[in-house]
Structure 1
Amino acid sequence: MRSARPHRVRAGEGVDHPFADLLRPAAGQPFRWAEHQGRELLLVEHSRCSAVFSRQGGQLLHFQPHGERPLLWCATRWPRIGAIRGGVPVCWPWFGRHPMEGGWPHHGWARLSDWRLIHKAADDNGVRVTWRLDLHDWQVELEAELGGRMSLQLVTRHRDSEPCVLSHALHAYWRVSDVARVALLGLDGAEGRDLLSREPCRQGGELRVIDGCHRVFRQGGRVKIQDAGWQRRLCIDGGNNPNTVVWHPGSRPLSEVSWAEGLGFLSVQGAACGDDSAELVAGEEARLSLEAWVG
């Protein structure tokens, strides 16, 4: 049976996000800079979509196609210093804890560093934005194409003479009506590891978050968030990524995030981590992709 068409947003609806007061379309100017909570932001206002990037982390914080609710969730309050929770943080050049240096930051340096904006352009279909970060013998770029849908590519170039191991993720926070009312489809039969129980896992049927979830599946490709509260189906395509990571803290508190606010997201990430980390030789590239749209 064909599902009902997703809810379309009427004028003035669906603007309850942290950037609603910042986004004010300026005729003929799809890009402008602003400051918010101590961070420098690039605001995107186009007839096809609106978006917000942070220079810190080269991080896409907000994306909303015209006529739809925002696809991404972002915390209302940010720490004075440190990572911004929400949007699509870039976990790079390691995912989770560093395997040898316990004092190094969780999920790497990228989300704490200021990136350079090296390209921005707009046409009738949307916008294209590229951010770059150089770190020692590494170079990483985030290429974003935004219009009716969101497309991200993370490209790492290894320029050292020695081989290395890279683990990385596009750690997306997807905005939902209530995490208790959504189901994640497309992982039936996928195998991986449950990081909460520290045991292997195999998904049976749809995935629902009861009280916390942190699983790394050895599968990329397409999944769907079925949101009963908003009657919306959000399609997420990880392409050839080796891993799909699903996370929500459940009843465990998040710093600077209220209980009610934390119910408004489900994190489904494109990644290459653990046994599926990339092994790069000199001059080699590694790529991650993440695409999303309302289906």
Structure 2
Amino acid sequence: MHEHPLQRFYKSLRKRPVFAWERYQMRDVLVIDHPLCQAVFSRQGAQLLHFQPRDQKPWLWCAAKWPHVGAIRGGVPVCWPWYGRHPSENAWPSHGWARLLDWKLLDSSSDDDGVRLHWQLQLCDWQVDLHAHLGERMELRLCTEHQDSLPCQLSQALHAYWRIGDVGEVALSGLDGAHGYDHLNRQVCQQDGELRVEGGCQRVFQQEGELQLKDHAWQRALCIDTGDDADTVVWHPGSRPLLGVSWNEMGEFVCVEAASGGTDSLSLAPGQKAHLSLQARVGV
């Protein structure tokens, strides 16, 4: 079991400020040290790479080595303004531009309840805002405003890599009876009981309410809520190689994501907004 690579910032015994910029693997990262939690964001993509409430194991997984340029594997990438492959431009990057560009940090604050951050990206006639509230629990909210004079298409995701003890010992409950689509088998599916992902999984479900990620190796459960209006995507590559990830890292994560517009892109009228959220807490 490997230590999260970004826990290196917390090795020193000296007291850290709540917010401090550091340089790591050719990226600017914001290191957060609050009495309730530790966290790290990358300026590139406004990507939450590490989150760990006090006296707990890390909640998010992140690859040990990052590419010199391009997307960082792990944490919670913001996939925007499209999710997956672009519907018409094959040469454009998978999962959109947002995770490749530097965002502006408009506000950061802390109180007894944790920390709050507001990131923003302006791209052509779009504005996207990411609001984060971190403390004993994790909450991310994405808001897109379409500022053009013509309608547009949008798909998006908060593509969370959850840190686990062993992929062979996790089960996801809360999807029993949910209808969805199995991309590996290319057919519609209905979940029966708990979902296990060992061997590979890429399923999209339409469901409401919390899911519980049961991690038997670490003896904990994370309750994950993807909101009422989003699809829930469950993904793990199984034995397939994953660019930038070593074999001994492959069993340390599973993705449970909030996504919208992946099947039929959302159509936004001028001035219209689209919202997406992802929340997590420790189960009791």
| Structure 1, 20-29 or 191-200: larger mean CA deviation | 20-29
With the length of structure 2 as denominator, give the TM-score of the two structures: 0.96
Query: 1:262 deviation in Å?
Result: 1.1
Is residue 2:229 matched to residue 1:241? yes
Residue 3 (structure 2) pairs with residue 16 (structure 1): yes
Distance in 2 (CA, whole Å) between partners of 1:202 and 1:15 is 35
Q: Partners of 1:274 and 1:47 in 2: how far apart?
A: 38
The residue that corresponds to 1:5 in the other structure is none
Matched, 1:98 2:86: yes
Q: What are the residue-to-residue correspondences of 1:1-295 with 2, within 5 Å?
A: 16-23=3-10, 24=12, 27=15, 29-295=17-283
Secondary structure, in 3 states, of the residue corresponding to 1:180?
helix
TM-score after normalising by structure 1: 0.92
**Does the CA-based 8 Å contact 1:72-1:86 persist in structure 2?**
yes
Task: Give SS of 2:31's match.
Answer: strand
CA distance in 2, matches of 1:104, 1:176: 32
- SS for the counterpart of 1:22 is helix
Instruction: Give the letter for the 2:17 counterpart.
Output: Q
CA distance in 1, matches of 2:180, 2:251: 25
Task: Tell me which stretches of 4 or more aligned residues in structure 1 moved more than 6 Å.
Answer: none
Determine the C-alpha separation between the residues in 2 that align with 1:69 and 1:251.
25
**Once structures 1 and 2 are overlaid, which stretch shifts more, 240-249 or 102-111?**
240-249
Q: Name stretches of at least 5 consecutive residues in structure 1 with no aligned partner.
A: 1-13
CA offset digits 1:188-243 (Å, max 9, x no partner): 11111111122111111100013110011122431010111111011101122320
Shift of 1:15: 8.7
Task: Count the aligned residue pairs.
Answer: 282
Measure the CA separation in 1 of the matches of 2:93 and 2:13: 37
Alignment partner of 2:168: what SS?
A: helix
The CA distance in 2 between the partners of 1:131 and 1:243, in whole Å, is: 24
Q: Aligned residues: percent identity?
A: 57
Q: Tell me if structure 1 keeps the 8 A contact 2:16–2:33.
A: no
Cα distance, 1:38 vs structure 2:
0.3
